[in-house]
Amino acid sequence: MRTILDKTSSKPLYQQIVEWVENALMTGTMKPGEKLPSERDLSHYFAVNRSTIVRAMEILHDRNIIIRRVGSGTYINPQKWGRYLAPQISWNAESKQTHFHQYYHLDLGNGDLPAMLYPDLHLPEVDWQLLIREEQADSAHKLGTITLRRAVQSYLRTRFDWQVDLNHILITAGTQQAISLITLGLLKTGDAIAIENPSYFYSLSIFQALGIRIYGIPMDSNGIIIEKLDELVDRYAIKMMFINPIFHNPTGIVMSQQRKDALLAYATRKQLLIIEDDAYSQLSFSPQIETSPLKKQAKMEQILYLGSLSKYLGKSIRIGWMIAPPAIVEHLATIRQHLDSGLSSLPQFMAEIYLEQYALHHEMHLQTKLQQKCNAFIHWLESNFPGTFQYQIPTGGFHLYANLRQPIQLKAIEKELQSLNVSYRRSDFFGADLPGLRFSFAHFPLSEEQNHNKA
């Protein structure tokens, strides 16, 4: 069936074609990697001159939405690197939900904290009127309750020997809300940002939805490669960078102190804004591992630090915090007020109790259990797939990232994992160039857990 363009519209036909392709990609009508018809066939399909198709294809190519392969044809870009789509946020759009959740014997694709590792919180009696009054206070409504901000302040001082002023702390509903606020408040359509390659940031829809171009910084065992970052900054006018330097998701890499120093020196020289996501730093398997935030080490205005409790309390209490200059805190808090009604006081109260009374012992428990799970998973992996994967042994966090020694074996290995009823995340989910798999060993059961489940 031929697609009819609106030839009475003031919008040029080539622009209508560009928007049609963008919409088809966003809705899933067209898939990444899909081959496009020839320009001649497209001109028949849209009932326009071939020159109109050529102009539309040039725009799509400039935006990195399509790629051209000599002797093969034109394809939808299989990756999001550098892709620019016009902003397409629909606040009223229906969310896509999976109605049937597949059960896995080993759910190693799940990046959340397993329920059996949640802390056993016992909350004191709650004065609801006091909570309501706190929630209605202007500063609490905008920045978060004062008691939770003080608890975060104390937590950072205890964990990192880091003194943070209260007016630098913004309570958030988790890291993704913080990233959304930063994207809405500090970036504009068409801006370019850099993220690690691979990175879980690659999977977030907010950047593409707002028309932000993302570019990947190659990594080695010490973190991002500064020379590669410099190439991106010079070529694409990178506005800011998002990094996860401690127990990086998905690779588990901890950025070395030498690399941290080099990054801070580079960011200072280039006046590059850094968004530092710290989700796993208190899940170290050894006290010798340096997990101090970049923000604490440098005390630079151009670093925004994001902390979260989601990897410690699970998804039930979505509370996090941002450490930023007061002007940015105020600006992003105002944006949030315009978007929603603020934060509820109850999850903030629960987070406050956790930080003050449970965090230290619970983090120690998580460190022990996660290291046991990591060791047990590695034993399982080498027993079932000896010599198949190449990986660094994790030193903390949730994840083991494994590259294939022989990439051609990927389909066979995936088939074997499916036969074992094991879930995982493929490396292309994180934008990686080489085939590999991320396993979240946090969900690997220990023998006593298996016995508990059977009982």
Looking up residue 20, the CATH number of its domain turns out to be 1.10.10.10
Whether 351 contacts 317, CB under 8 Å: yes
Could you tell me where the beta strands, DSSP code E, fall in 221-263? 223-224, 238-243
pLDDT for position 130: 66
Length of the chain (residues): 455
Domain count, the chain: 3
Q: Which of 34-48, 267-281, 337-351, 369-383 has the lowest mean pLDDT?
A: 337-351
Residue 5 covered by a domain: no
**Across 123-137, 198-212, 357-371, which has the greatest mean pLDDT?**
357-371
Under DSSP, the state recorded for 29 is: S
Mean pLDDT of 147-168: 96
| pLDDT tens-place string over residues 326-339 | 999 999 999 998 88
Q: Which residues pair with 2 in a beta bridge?
A: none
- Residue 135's pLDDT is 62
Residues 354 and 377 in one domain: no
Q: How far apart are CA 244 and CA 421, in angstroms?
A: 30
For residue 109, tell me if it sits in a domain. Answer: no
- Radius of gyration over every alpha carbon of the chain, rounded to an integer in angstroms: 24
Give the CATH number, domain containing residue 299. 3.40.640.10
Say yes or no to pLDDT of 226 above 80.
yes
Does 262 lie in the same domain as 410? no
Among 34, 56, 76, the domain boundary falls at 76
pLDDT band at 90 (very low <50, low <70, confident <90, very high): very low
Task: Give the pLDDT of residue 419.
Answer: 95
Q: Are strands 399-404 and 422-423 parallel, antiparallel or unpaired?
A: unpaired
pLDDT at residue 274, rounded to an integer: 97
Query: What is this structure's pTM?
Result: 0.82
| Within a domain: 114 | no
- Out of 313, 332, 358, a domain closes at 358
Least confident window among 198-207, 251-260, 376-385, 405-414: 198-207
Q: Is residue 250 part of a domain?
A: yes
Task: Report which of residues 95 and 70 the model is more confident about.
Answer: 70
Q: Give the whole-number percent of the chain exceeding pLDDT 90.
A: 66
pLDDT for the residue numbered 30: 81
Please tell me whether residues 352 and 447 are part of one structural domain. no
The whole-number average pLDDT for the span 70-79 is: 84
Q: Does 334 share its domain with 364?
A: no
Give the best-scoring range by mean pLDDT among 97-106, 117-126, 412-421: 412-421
CA geometry: angle 159, 141, 90, nearest 5 deg: 100
Give the model's confidence band at 94: pLDDT under 50 very low, under 70 low, under 90 confident, else very high: very low
What confidence tens digit (pLDDT) does each residue in 33-67 have?
Answer: 889 999 999 998 899 999 999 999 998 988 888 88
- C-alpha closest to that of 325 among 303, 340, 347, 296: 303
How much is the average pLDDT of 215-234?
A: 96
Please tell me whether residues 167 and 273 are part of one structural domain. yes
Mean pLDDT of all residues belonging to the chain? 88
Q: What is the pLDDT of residue 325?
A: 95
Asked whether residue 85 is domain-assigned, the answer is no
Least confident of 35-39, 163-167, 229-233, 239-243: 35-39
Give the model's confidence band at 154: pLDDT under 50 very low, under 70 low, under 90 confident, else very high. very high
Q: How confident is the model at residue 127 (pLDDT cuts 50, 70, 90)?
A: low
The end-to-end CA distance of the chain, in Å, is: 58
Q: Are residues 47 and 171 in the same domain?
A: no
As a whole number, mean pLDDT of residues 183-209 equals: 91
Whether residue 386 sits in one domain with residue 264: no
- Distance between CA 50 and CA 204 in Å, rounded? 36
> What's the average model confidence in pLDDT over 157-182?
95
Average pLDDT over residues 394-408: 95
In this prediction, residue 1 carries a pLDDT of 42
pLDDT band at 133 (very low <50, low <70, confident <90, very high): low
349 and 367 share one domain: no
- Residue 215: inside a domain, yes or no? yes
Shared-domain flag, residues 281 and 396: no
> Do 18 and 148 fall within a single domain?
no
Domain assignment of residue 48, yes or no: yes
Phi, psi of 30 (to 5 degrees): -115, 145
Quick check: 104 pLDDT over 90? no
Which burial class, exposed, middle or buried, applies to 252 when counting CB atoms under 10 A from its CB (0-12, 13-18, 19+)?
buried
Q: Is 131 a member of any domain?
A: yes
Positive or negative, the Cα torsion across 438, 443, 448, 450? negative
- Quick one: 295 and 329 in the same domain? yes
List CB contacts of 431: < 8 A, sequence separation 6 or more: 79, 80, 81, 195, 197, 198, 199, 202, 216
379 or 98: which carries more pLDDT confidence?
379
Residues 380 and 349 in one domain: no
Which residues have C-beta within 8 Å of that of residue 278, sequence separation ≥ 6? Answer: 244, 245, 246, 293, 305, 306, 307, 308
Domain boundary among 358, 380, 414: 358
Domain coverage including residue 67: 13-76
